[in-house]
């Protein structure tokens, strides 16, 4: 993937987020998307070596559309201003734990994953897993590579303790989480000047594998 042409295109799209501008430059978009698809195939295959549950030639199917769903949004811009993909054990199913990569200008590039806003049943299952196996989660969050890239677990948290757990529970801060994610965010200069961004993505994913496996086990039926 040629990052500078991609950033140039997406920067222009951010300034002129309308159909006439996009359609005039559709050939450029198609070429850039094809390059991103090729990288997604590479990332998917490399990820399959790191996490055996991720397998199969589904890289292209893991890419999100550039078209925004504006039906319930105050922002009516028709296009996203980044390219992104999500890799899971079941294709592009954003309701299961997985690995996410997003590439774009203005500091929007990130490599991460986990499970964003799990449903009620998943949330209860993850909290139960934390209650039973907090030491395992804390150990993988403290692992050197996880700390190097992510610094810890992110995601929105409750202000108060969940109803099923006491306020003095020893793991209450972990149990307050409503999302269980981690992200390695990168400024534009670092992305554009990186010697091999394509190879960096699976390197960062490697640090996330135990975290995703923990979450996947927790929500497994």
φ, ψ dihedrals at 127, nearest 5°: -65, -35
% of the chain beyond a pLDDT of 70: 98
Asked whether residue 195 carries a pLDDT value surpassing 90, the answer given is: yes
* Cα separation, 16 vs 143, whole angstroms: 43
User: DSSP characters for 55-73?
Assistant: -SS-TGGGBPPSB---TT-
E strands present in the chain: 83-87, 98-103, 109-115, 180-186
19: left (phi over 0), alpha (psi -120 to 50) or beta: alpha
Higher model confidence: residue 196 or residue 92?
196
Residue in 189, 161, 155, 188 with CA at minimum distance from that of residue 173: 161
Mean pLDDT of 140-155: 97
* Cα separation, 219 vs 221, whole angstroms: 6
pLDDT tens by residue, 44-99: 999 999 998 987 667 778 999 999 988 888 889 999 999 999 999 876 567 899 99
pLDDT tens by residue, 102-143: 999 999 999 999 999 999 999 999 999 999 999 999 999 999
Domains (range + CATH), the chain: 3-219 (3.30.930.20)
Token duo for residue 43? 């990332």
Token duo for residue 93? 């199913």
Q: Pairing relation of β-strands 83-87 and 180-186?
A: unpaired
What is the greatest pairwise CA distance in the chain?
A: 60
Mean pLDDT of the chain, nearest integer: 94
Asked if 156 and 178 touch (Cβ cutoff 8 Å), the reply is: yes
Cα–Cα distances in angstroms (integers) from residue 151 to residues 96, 128, 140, 143, in the given order:
22, 24, 12, 10
């Amino acid at each position: 993937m040629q990052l500078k042409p991609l950033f140039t295109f997406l920067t222009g799209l951010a300034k002129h987020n309308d159909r006439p501008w996009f359609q005039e430059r559709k050939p450029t978009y198609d070429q850039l998307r094809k390059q991103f698809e090729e990288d997604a195939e590479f990332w998917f295959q490399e990820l399959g070596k790191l996490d055996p549950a991720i397998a199969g030639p589904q890289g292209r199917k893991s890419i999100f559309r550039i078209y925004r769903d504006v039906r319930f949004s105050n922002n009516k811009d028709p296009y996203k201003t980044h390219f992104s993909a999500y890799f899971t054990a079941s294709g592009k199913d954003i309701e299961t734990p997985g690995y996410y990569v997003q590439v774009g200008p203005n500091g929007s590039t990130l490599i991460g994953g986990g499970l964003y806003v799990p449903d009620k049943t998943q949330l209860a299952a993850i909290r139960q897993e934390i209650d039973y196996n907090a030491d395992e989660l804390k150990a993988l969050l403290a692992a050197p590579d996880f700390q190097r890239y992510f610094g810890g677990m992110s995601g929105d948290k409750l202000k108060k303790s969940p109803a099923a757990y006491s306020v003095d529970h020893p793991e209450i801060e972990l149990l307050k989480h409503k999302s269980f994610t981690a992200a390695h965010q990168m400024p534009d200069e670092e992305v554009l000047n990186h010697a091999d961004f394509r190879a960096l993505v699976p390197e960062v994913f490697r640090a996330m594998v135990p975290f995703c496996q923990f979450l996947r086990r927790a929500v497994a039926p």
